[in-house]
Structure 1
Amino acid sequence: MQSTMCQPHDEQAVLNYLDWQKLYRTEKPFQLFSVVGGGHLPDQRTTNLVFKEGGVETIHDVRGTESQYSLNKQGFTFRTYPTRVHNFGVRDEVENVYLLEMEELLRREVEGIDQVYFFDWRIRKNVELTGKTAIDANDKMQYLLPAKHVHIDQTPSAVLGRMRLHLPQQADFLLQGRVRVINIWRPIIDVVEDQPLTFCDARTVEPSDLVEADHVRKHYNGSNFYAKPSHRYRWHYLNRQRKDEVTLLKMFDSDPEVEAKYCLHTSFTHHVIPEDSKPRESIEVRALVFTYDENDES
């Protein structure tokens, strides 16, 4: 009932895309999330990524039509699902209460789930960091700024790496069935008016639009996709998303039959932000979701 209180409102926005460089033909795109040690090293770069603004694009508001979007068709969907957590700044509350709630949500709303493993979660705030010059990717209590580049969090090789890292004894068995990575995104303020999340219909994205980039951390190397601009993309968002509303986004799906294998996404800036609006705060959890091979006899 509450979702009808807000009229749909499409936005015009400029998004940030990867700017293809000739360098990438011989050097893979990369980003370091650990400080490069030793001032004597000849290469002190932390990244070779170059981004550029795309043209003005329409961000279509899904408010009132949320039920028309699914993980298997567009790569994203929406659910109303309140949480019992009141303080997301307490790690124990997130890991012992919120993750259990999100597993209940996934098992209730996503078909064919036999096993769920949460491998990451982070808080984001649109407030500049103070007192620190570098992000500690291993510190869950250090919030991140909203992501402002069009991307997909996990590449197929990164998913395999996550499985080998977190579930080494089960990985071979789990790879025989269906493997998905699903992110769950929720505002942790009453309503988002500043830096909402936008999601691209997976059916408007071609594999050639995506460029794999290594993400190098102190204890783990992963990779994600950044996107080059395309006139085909069709973008959506949930206007004035509330704390009791969650967005599910698919990052990977091993099922060859589904239309949506992944979901490009990023934050964007509204044309008009009310003067009294709060900076966006949100939590995102990342889940490996498994469906066992129905032909397995073990």
Structure 2
Amino acid sequence: MTDRTALIAYVRRGTPRPFYYANAHEKDRVPVDLQPMPVRDARAIGAQVDREGFQLVRHRSIVTDWTDRAALEAIHRAEVAALIKELTGADDVFVTSPGILRYSEKSGKAGSSDNSHPARFVHVDINDATAAQFAERGAGGRAFTRCAAYNLWRALSPPPQDVPLAFCDIRSVAADDLIVADAIFDPPDGAPEWSFESWVVGHNPAHQWYFFADMTADEAVLFKTNDSDPTRAHCVPHVAFDDPLAPADAPPRISIEMRATAYWWA
């Protein structure tokens, strides 16, 4: 697969603290800084979740209808927990979301359900402060030697994907590239808003960007959003981008993201 140069939507440095919504993006304060960056096919490098922070995994799910929330709750949560436990050697894995379905704009379905827009600026879902809070809460008072937060991202639409997800090798990211922001969740059912701290990312020409071309339904990307072990990849900035080499008739991207927390007990 040919490498490409794509526009990566960074966030401008030196601006008031950014914030963004899960649904009401018209209220976001995220000053975008579009930068052309090389994006390479990660299939060629054998990326590893504890080195670059992301890796491609083979996984066949028995879920047949990804819009069936009951099936995701009853079946896919357990599938994801078992997969991450096998891949990482964690003692326990807790899947914290029944699944986030997202659609590229061309589908006409972006925004049709809760948090269904593609993530259009470079970010990390949680920062260290949020990760520590979530880790302690999830452990329920039990002591642990390591805690790591993972996402499992799967393209449900056939290849090629028009708006794939790009991942930045964490070894190319400087500490001051990470900008504290507020992620605000505004449920469409009118439930109260809630928020936590995340990171958005400023441009750095040293960043090394990758994606997995032509993903199939039996593949997924496991990537890290935090890890308490300083000897391993810490987190992965990521962003949805328009693939300049995707054909005009490429099917609109549909994807699902599962989020999980893994523990190694003391």
Tell me the TM-score normalised to structure 2 length: 0.88
Q: TM-score, normalised by structure 1?
A: 0.79
Q: Give the aligned partner of residue 83 of structure 2.
A: 105
Q: 1:10 to 1:129 in 2, by over 3 A?
A: closer
Measure, in 1, the Cα distance between the counterparts of 2:242 and 2:22.
25
In 1, Cα distance between the equivalents of 2:51 and 2:200?
Answer: 21
Q: How far, CA to CA, are the matches of 1:96 and 1:148 in structure 2?
A: 30
- The question of 1:14 aligning with 2:14 is answered no
Distance 1:129 1:280 in 2: 7
Does residue 76 (structure 1) correspond to residue 54 (structure 2)? The answer is yes
Task: Please tell me the residue identity of whatever aligns with 1:281.
Answer: I
Structure 1 residue 192, shift from structure 2 partner: 3.8
Alpha carbons 1:186, 1:246 under 8 Å: kept: yes
Gaps of 5+ in 1: 1-7, 36-44, 294-298
The number of residue pairs the alignment matches comes to 258
Match of 2:182 among 214, 221, 226: 214
Contact 2:169 2:236 in 1 (8 A): yes
| TM superposition shift of 1:62 | 2.2
CA displacement, residues 99-124 of structure 1 (integer Å, 9 cap, x when unaligned): 1111121122113x111111123000
Residue of structure 2 in register with 1:60 after alignment: 40
- Contact kept, 8 Å, 2:9 with 2:32, in 1: the verdict is yes
SS for the counterpart of 2:119 is coil
Cα deviations by residue, 1:143-172 (Å, 9 ceiling, x for unpaired)? 61211111111111222333455x3xx343
Instruction: Report the CA distance shift for 1:171/1:160 in structure 2 as closer, same or farther (over 3 A).
Output: farther
CA distance in 1, matches of 2:108, 2:251: 18
**1:1-298 maps to which residues of 2 (within 5 A)?**
8-22=1-15, 24=16, 28-32=17-21, 46-54=27-35, 56-63=36-43, 65=44, 68-111=46-89, 113-120=90-97, 121-127=99-105, 142=114, 144-163=116-135, 167=138, 170-174=139-143, 176-217=144-185, 218-258=192-232, 260-293=233-266
Q: Distance in 1 between matches of 2:228 and 2:149?
A: 9
CA distance in 2 between partners of 1:171 and 1:155 (Å): 20
Paired-residue identity, %:
23
CA distance in 2, matches of 1:287, 1:117: 5
- 1:19/1:243 CA distance change after superposition, 3 Å: same
Asked if structure 2 preserves the Cα contact closer than 8 Å seen for 1:9 and 1:239, the reply is no
In the TM superposition, what is the alpha-carbon distance from 1:193 to its structure 2 partner? Answer: 2.3
Structure 1 residue 11 displacement after superposition: 1.2
SS at match of 2:96: strand
Please list every run of 5 or more consecutive structure 2 residues that lacks an aligned counterpart in the other structure: 186-191
1:32 shift after superposition: 4.6
1:3 aligned residue: none
Q: Secondary structure in 2 aligned to 1:109?
A: helix
- The one-letter code matched in structure 2 to 1:221 is S
Q: CA RMSD, aligned part only?
A: 2.4
Shift of 1:224: 1.2
CA distance in 1 between counterparts of 2:49 and 2:175 reads 18
User: Does structure 2 conserve the Cα–Cα contact (< 8 Å) formed by 1:81 and 1:246?
Assistant: yes
Q: Which has the larger radius of gyration?
A: 1
Name the CA shift for 1:234/1:181 in 2 (closer, same or farther; >3 Å): same
Q: Contact 1:154–1:252 at 8 Å: present in 2 too?
A: yes
